[in-house]
Amino acid sequence: MDNHNHSNSFSDNLFEFRSVAQSKLILSLVITFTVMIVEFVGGFMTNSIALISDAGHMFTHSFAIAISLAAIIIARTPPCHHKTFGMFRAEILAAFINGLFLLLVVAIIIYEAVQRIIEPKEVLSLQMLVIAVIGLIVNIVTIAILHGSHHEDLNVKSVFYHMIGDVASSIGIVGAAVAIHYTRWNIIDPLVSIGISAVIAVWAYGILRESTRILLEMTPAGLSTDTIGNDLREHFPEIRELGNVHLWTITSNMFVFSAHVSLNGGLTTEEQGMVIARLNQFLQERYHIIESTIQITQSTTQPACDAR
């Protein structure tokens, strides 16, 4: 007996939250992308590699918002006979490519910063300060726009907390501009840019690690088939054996589960169906698994394994 459960209610609620935040995300993206261009051009005009690196940081911010918007659009693309899960995985593929691109950006910025340390260039500190202040104000405004939505939408929450890092970066640029203006220590500029590059590199590593995990269909971070298997055995005494357990991620916060179960003898076909229905509901409510396929067998062939 197979029981295949697709949890529409969880997906519908998630998409509803995303639609609420869509207009806010679009406004935030337009503002952020515009200031990113201003910082990039201003960095060249003022000889500030720190401003250019902050523009790179703003790019990561813009990309994070764009990915959230893409998730909204992709989520509304219905599955079909040859795309049975729709286009959800496109979000992860884009994140993986972006992570690689960010590492390239970091390498270029650090190389240029080292060159500036060896051969310092005069930085137009006042102009740099004006542009940095604009960047800081935009980050604060964007946080204000998204404030409130991040409490109910996991998608927006990730963008919200990423922007807090952007605010810290902008404060660092403002501080560097002030310090350069009063001390004339132009070396502060490349040193700050290296610090910002380190932040970008950490973020790039994080999205590369998580996107690779999803693309390789490993278990979600912090969760294993052993964990779920032991939990099911504890809460469902009807289970005699559990095997061929698989758990993977379609996209962020969308998990899929399948397993073979052998139930205790004496259960009627109707009772077996009720057990499977309870199993599906348990997996949805406890682990947010949107889709589960559980097959009843006489004996399982493989033990649950821990995918690390």
Please tell me whether residue 45 adopts helix, strand or coil conformation: helix
Question: Predicted confidence band at 104 (pLDDT cuts at 50, 70, 90)?
Answer: confident
In a domain, 177, yes or no: yes
97 and 175 co-located in one domain: yes
183 and 68 co-located in one domain: yes
17 and 131 co-located in one domain: yes
Question: Predicted confidence band at 19 (pLDDT cuts at 50, 70, 90)?
Answer: very low
In a domain, 89, yes or no: yes
7 vs 109, residue with greater confidence: 109
d(CA 55, CA 71): 24
With tokens 């109910």, the residue in question is: 152
* CATH (domain of 105): 1.20.1510.10
In a domain, 303, yes or no: no
| b/e burial code for range 102-119 (CB count within 10 A of at least 16 → b) | beebbeebbebbeebbee
What's residue 6's pLDDT? 43
286 and 163 co-located in one domain: no
Least confident among 2-6, 199-203, 262-266: 2-6
What's residue 307's pLDDT? 45
Say whether pLDDT at 65 is over 80: no
197 and 237 co-located in one domain: no
pLDDT for 267-296, tens place per residue? 888 888 899 999 999 998 888 888 888 888
Say whether pLDDT at 182 is over 90: yes
d(CA 242, CA 16): 35
CA angle in degrees (0–180, nearest 5) for 116-63-35: 60
* CB-based contact 61:32 (threshold 8 Å): yes
56 vs 45, residue with greater confidence: 45
Tokens of 121: 């260039």
> Domain boundary at 185, 215, 245, which?
215
Phi/psi for 5 (5° steps) reads -120, 120
Residue 306 CB-density burial (10 A; 0-12 exposed, 13-18 middle, 19+ buried): exposed
In a domain, 220, yes or no: no
What's residue 42's pLDDT? 92
231 and 163 co-located in one domain: no
d(CA 15, CA 178): 45
Least confident among 9-18, 20-29, 105-114: 9-18
What's residue 86's pLDDT? 64
> Domain boundary at 182, 215, 248, which?
215
Which stretch, 6-10, 221-225, 259-263, has highest mean pLDDT?
259-263
84 and 156 co-located in one domain: yes
204 vs 301, residue with greater confidence: 204
301 vs 161, residue with greater confidence: 161
52 and 166 co-located in one domain: yes
d(CA 79, CA 240): 35
* CB-based contact 187:72 (threshold 8 Å): no
* CATH (domain of 248): 3.30.70.1350
d(CA 289, CA 11): 10
Least confident among 2-16, 137-151, 256-270: 2-16
134 and 97 co-located in one domain: yes
In a domain, 304, yes or no: no
In a domain, 302, yes or no: no
Say whether pLDDT at 47 is over 60: yes
Least confident among 1-5, 214-218, 236-240: 1-5
What's residue 162's pLDDT? 65
pTM of the model: 0.70
**DSSP code of 86?**
T
192 and 266 co-located in one domain: no
In a domain, 71, yes or no: yes
Average pLDDT in the chain? 79
In a domain, 305, yes or no: no
Q: Looking at the 3D structure of the chain, how many domains does it have?
A: 2
* CB-based contact 261:296 (threshold 8 Å): yes
What's residue 223's pLDDT? 85
125 and 247 co-located in one domain: no
> Domain boundary at 162, 180, 215, which?
215
What is the extent of the structural domain holding 248?
Answer: 225-296
pLDDT for 68-103, tens place per residue? 777 667 766 776 667 666 677 777 787 788 788 888
205 and 263 co-located in one domain: no
The region, left, alpha or beta by phi > 0 then psi within -120 to 50, assigned to residue 23 is alpha
Tokens of 242: 């559990």
Say whether pLDDT at 234 is over 60: yes
Question: Predicted confidence band at 157 (pLDDT cuts at 50, 70, 90)?
Answer: low
What's residue 150's pLDDT? 47
